[in-house]
Amino acid sequence: MLQVNILHLVCTIAFVARNLSVEVDLLAKLAVGMDPEDGPIWVCSPDHPDGVMPFTTYSVVSLMTFLADHLR
């Protein structure tokens, strides 16, 4: 049986930062430390050959947890 993973929605770090009222640079520093099980994905494009990290709903929740830990 073939398993197909379909990505339905992603958002940029700027969008997440705006919704959480947090600086983009802080979120970027936290996101770099995310492990694969925390939900980050990388998307490459002609404009960004090294890739950019968009956020799924699951990875936003993980990032919020990292942020809360960081702010404590």
Task: Check pLDDT > 70 for residue 4.
Answer: no
> What integer pLDDT is reported at residue 5 of this predicted model?
63
Task: Check pLDDT > 80 for residue 58.
Answer: yes
> What integer pLDDT is reported at residue 32 of this predicted model?
81
Q: How far is CA 10 from the centre of its chain?
A: 8
Range of 3-7, 26-30, 31-35, 42-46 with top mean pLDDT: 26-30
pTM above 0.85, yes or no: no
Task: Check pLDDT > 80 for residue 65.
Answer: yes
Label each residue of the chain as H, E or C: CCCCCCCCCCECHHHHHHHHCCCHHHHHHHHHCCCHHHCCCCECCCCCCCCECCECHHHHHHHHHHHHHHHC
Give 23's pLDDT tier (boundaries 50, 70, 90): very high
With the C-alpha atoms ordered 16, 10, 28, 72, is the resulting torsion angle positive or negative?
A: positive
